[in-house]
Structure 1
Amino acid sequence: MTGSSPYLLNDRNAARYRRDVLAGVDRVASRLSTQDRPFTGITADRLAPEVAAIDLERPLGDPAAALDELERVYLRDAVYFHHPRYLAHLNCPVVIPALLGEAVLSAVNSSLDTWDQSAGGTLIERRLIDWTAERIGLGPAADGVFTSGGTQSNLQAMLLARDETCRLMEKDGLPRADILPRLCVLASECAHFSVVKAAALLGLGEDAVIAVPSDADRRMRDDALARELGRCRRRGLVPMAVVATAGTTDFGSIDPLPQIAEVCQRTGVWLHVDAAYGCGLLVSRRRHLLAGIERADSVTVDYHKSFFQPVSSSAVLVRDRATLRHVTYHADYLNPARSTAERIPNQVDKSIQTTRRFDALKLWLTLRIMGPDAVGELFDAVVDRAEEAWHLLDADPRFEVVSRPQLSTLVFRYVPGESVAPGLIDRANLHARAALSASGEAVIAGTVVDGRHHLKFTLLNPDTSVSDVADVLDLVAGHARDYLGGSLAQAS
């Protein structure tokens, strides 16, 4: 084959690029404008055969035909987070300036590992890290890097905490082989599962994470933390990090950061704050809820949760940029050691990734077009809505709600007025969630609290109204009631 491919993006194919991408945008826009529910209710068993029947060895050769096929296997049945009755997980609708950034970054395709692959992109990412660190209040020595999400950010923070703890202990002559088996991490019993996963990936084992009890509002108890730290010391364990959560996945609860920071400072333990969810408070009128986060040694932020960015857009930040040396490795072909002396800004020196997308551009254009206050207003709107929804649930005898939200999640369950076995109530709530999803009228989440199945609303769409919430509650109650009625009838 000679000559340029008609499919490569270059100066000769710019018109084709514009035409084909706009065709895809038109398909999505048309779908959004006619979408009357968040989901079709499709099951994997129904959709899988259609996808499996596609012969990838025989290309269609035509963008229109490929988009028609995509309608059938993806766009038609996708879960649409923009819909006001999508109330399930920490998925937000996205702002248009960020989509503009996504279009630009995908086409230019910069790789943010080295300066000679990214140039201005490197400086934009660094400026956004500095801006975020300023909002957190980490101080002039702070630094960080964009990541794929909260799980990666938490992993990198735990890696830095582990190696910094080892470095300090090795100065006293202890070999690393003797230190590693003694290391432990303390986190709330409501902390994200990625903390346990990080411990396992770092070779510490899942048992290295010690769960600290929480209070009735699902916030870590700082008195319990202090006791657990003392118990660890007496057992010969070395606490390498305390993980506080600013916005737990299930409850949106924020651990008492000032008190936890005080305990960590007193005991000399690295404090990591997982603010993947709660980072939206940085631009909110509720910024005071994050008081104490400025005392953290590392922080996780997920812009794709509460800054209304497309996946992925996240970062890990550290108080002391020197600690990032624990992920710095040099390769002669990429980032030779002399690059540092020559002041060449290679982001790979800070990251556990090498090739990395220019995801920072999405946030950059969001801030440059909308501004941080406008983003904060969107996040405040969903927190306001969650408070209104809590009042609705708290006054409704059909439901019991676990705790009053600090952010925008609500955990609750349907409870019948009559005496019904707890196991049957569990099954009724599970059925209600499944039936609601199958209908496509709404999508909600579920979790387990104190051994019992509960339902969960995660409100991240400012367009969700109290009326939407009330209607979904009626649907949930109807499905649960029908299930109980059928089960009780069969039993009699």
Structure 2
Amino acid sequence: MQKDQLHSNPALNYVLCDSDSSRQQYQQQMTLAAQGVERWLSDPALYSGLDVASLARAINLNIADEPQPAEQVIEQALRQYLDHSLKVHHPHCVAHLHCPTLIISQTAELLMNASNQSMDSWDQSPAATVIEMKLIAWLRELVGYSTGDAGVFTSGGTQSNLMGLLLARDAVVQRVWGIDVRTQGLPPDAQRLRVICSSQAHFSVQKNMALLGLGYQSVVAIACNAQGQMDTQVLQQTIAQLQQDGCVIAAIVATAGTTDIGAIDPLQPIADIAKQQAIWLHVDAAWGGALLLSNQYRHWLNGMAQADSITLDFHKHFFQPISCGAFLLKDPAHFGLMHYQADYLNSAFDEMQGVPNLVARSLQTTRRFDALKLWMSLQHLGTAQFGALVERGIELAQQVAAKIADDAQLQLMIEPQLSSVLFRLNNPTDVLSLTPANLDLLNQQVADHLLYSGQANVGVTRFQGQTCLKLTILNPVITLPDLEKLLVLVKQQAAVLIQKIKTLETVSQRESLS
């Protein structure tokens, strides 16, 4: 007799388990969802085009007391969520470090979600724990660290950076003040602590130092050179000045792939300075870490292996579904700075028996098995093809930058380094001359109009005091003709807006004459 017949339990229709009813419901609902995704992928529009207010009016959650058929719920989600979602695989979706995903990683998500393993203790995730530890060991070897498994998967770059700064802070407090921050808290004069990064470093440095109780004032952002890289001469001068002022430097944060420019700080010289001064070096390689798989550009990361900690992020140029990142720690002993023992998770008995409960390495307790996605992707593509996809994005950025540089209507702001291209519309002096503020506004509104018309998602940022447009080329299916077409759309939209400005000016002149 089947379990469904033994127990007339309605939950068997809702909870994924080993009953016939559950398995049948799972197959039916997965099929409906997959069919909906297939329809969505077939729609050529990048976005439905609704602005914030219109989208808020269009979405009605319809939460009721009575159950609704799964078919109806799925259809509502497809109509209200998926149909109004941005297509990150679209060749004109180039605003952010936001990638399309590998099919094999979507398959991994299915396995992860069905098994629902929690990575905090081994008895909740036995195989997953071992796989993650082995993949961390492989990543350590890839970056040039010694043999071991000191590291952990994270939600992404911000969390990995937080872990690096937390351990750097507590290590220097222990060394300088002789205080264990875990048990005693920060010293009374902790406001002397400083972290140094470049002016182009990720905003999570400031955000995380605020979370660590030291405020934005603890972050010293130093000038960059013309390529947007940390100026090592200024770095040395800054260290000397801070030490003279009685400050204690907890860490230097070097960036391998800045968000806007894709700049990679000179890692080897920075590592030499950090070693000489006995300062913790954290390398934020959330984007540039993908170069580890590139034969052609791997040398750009020379020196990274000397860092005390490293951020890697796989939902950028590794083409993984959000979220998927990792934190690597050179010296495993430093994990002791955040160690806490809970009898119900990582008991002393378990530790004596060598049971690996990964909660001891993580800021999170419950945590997804995101390592599965990366492992399956590396297996399926192989590292050589992975590296070739990364290289293609860099080369495509160089090609489109050359097109922009040759276009009188556009201005290339800086030569690309990874696969980010900063440019802006030039002042249309042949038609009318815009003030700097209005030219900034024109660039902003061009991007806005392209998004709300469902044609393109182009990034907007500030560089050298000017509003710029940004192409972030992470999508391996994009071609140069796709990007050339996008530049045409940018110029066409600018022409429409300029014509409106001219019309308004003419009307204003007529009114003043009358």
Q: What TM-score does the superposition give when structure 1 sets the normalisation length?
A: 0.96
1:255 aligned residue: 265
Give yes or no for the alignment of 1:80 onto 2:87.
Answer: yes
TM-fit CA distance, 1:331? 0.8
Deviation at 1:83, TM superposition (A): 1.1
CA displacement, residues 168-203 of structure 1 (integer Å, 9 cap, x when unaligned)? 113499994145221110000000000000100000
Deviations 1:27-83 (A, max 9, x none): 102211x221321211121121232x3321245622221222122211111101011
Deviations 1:13-36 (A, max 9, x none): 11221221122112102211x221
Percent sequence identity is 37
Q: Select 2:249's aligned residue among 232, 235, 239.
A: 239
Q: Indicate the larger mover: 362-371 or 274-283.
A: 362-371
1:205 matches 2:195:
no
CA separation of 1:164 and 1:65: change in aligned 2, threshold 3 A: same
Distance 2:275 2:57 in 1: 57
**Aligned-partner residue type, residue 464 of structure 1:** I
Which residue number corresponds to residue 145 of structure 2? 138
Q: Tell me what 2:122 maps to.
A: 115
- Cα separation, partners in 2 of 1:131 and 1:339, compared to 1, 3 Å: same
Which of structures 1 and 2 has the bigger CA Rg?
A: 2
SS in 2 for 1:333: coil
Q: How does 1:323-342 map to 2 (within 5 A)?
A: 323-342=334-353
Residue matched to 2:458: 444
Report the equivalent of 1:279: 289
Instruction: Give the root-mean-square deviation of aligned CA atoms.
Output: 1.7
From the superposition, tell whether residues 420 and 44 of structure 1 become closer, same or farther in structure 2 (CA, over 3 Å).
Answer: closer
- Confirm whether residue 428 of structure 1 aligns to residue 438 of structure 2: no
Q: Residue 4 of structure 2 aligns with which residue?
A: none
Tell me the equivalent position of 1:180.
190
Equivalent position amino acid for 1:132 in 2: L
Q: In the alignment, is the contact (CA less than 8 A) between 1:37 and 1:85 conserved in 2?
A: no
The 2-side partners of 1:420 and 1:130 are apart by 56
AA aligned opposite 1:451: G
How far the C-alpha of 1:468 sits from its partner, in A, is: 1.2
1:23 aligns with 2:32: yes
Report if aligned partners of 2:338, 2:360 keep a CA contact under 8 Å in 1.
yes
Partner of 2:50: 42
The question of whether the paired residues in 1 share the 8 Å contact of 2:179 and 2:187 is answered with: no
User: For structure 1, which runs of at least 5 residues remain unmatched after alignment?
Assistant: none
Q: 2:306 aligns with which of 295, 311, 320?
A: 295
- C-alpha contact 1:390 1:410 (8 A) present in aligned 2: yes
Structure 2 contact 420–472 (Cα < 8 Å) conserved: yes
| Match in the other structure for 2:386 | 375
Which AA in structure 2 matches 1:422?
P
57-66 or 118-127, which moves further after superposition? 57-66
Q: Which moved more, 1:400-409 or 1:351-360?
A: 400-409
Task: Tell me which amino acid in the other structure corresponds to 1:157.
Answer: G
Q: Which residue of 2 aligns with 1:70?
A: 77
Range with bigger deviation, 452-461 or 133-142: 133-142
Partner-residue secondary structure (3-state), 1:76: helix
Shift of 1:395: 1.1
For 2:9, the equivalent position in structure 1 comes to 3
- Which one of 392, 397, 403 corresponds to residue 392 of structure 1? 403
- Which residue number in structure 1 is paired with residue 177 of structure 2? 170
Q: In structure 2, what residue type is equivalent to 1:348?
A: V
Q: Is the 8 A contact 1:60 1:66 kept in 2?
A: no
- How far residue 469 of structure 1 moved from its aligned partner, in angstroms, is 1.1
The structural deviation recorded for 1:283 is 0.8
What residue ranges of structure 2 are gaps of 5+ in the alignment?
1-6, 510-514
Equivalent-residue separation in structure 2 for 1:59 and 1:101 (angstroms): 33
TM-score (norm 2): 0.92
Instruction: Write the distance in 1 (CA, Å) between the matches of 2:81 and 2:10.
Output: 31
CA distance in 2, matches of 1:155, 1:352: 9
- 1:41 is paired with a residue whose SS is coil
User: Which amino acid letter does the alignment assign opposite residue 271 of structure 1?
Assistant: L
Aligned-partner residue type, residue 112 of structure 2? L
The amino acid of 2:142's aligned partner reads R
Q: Contact between 2:420 and 2:470, CA under 8 Å: does it hold in 1?
A: yes
CA distance in 1, matches of 2:43, 2:289: 30
Secondary structure at the residue paired with 1:145? strand
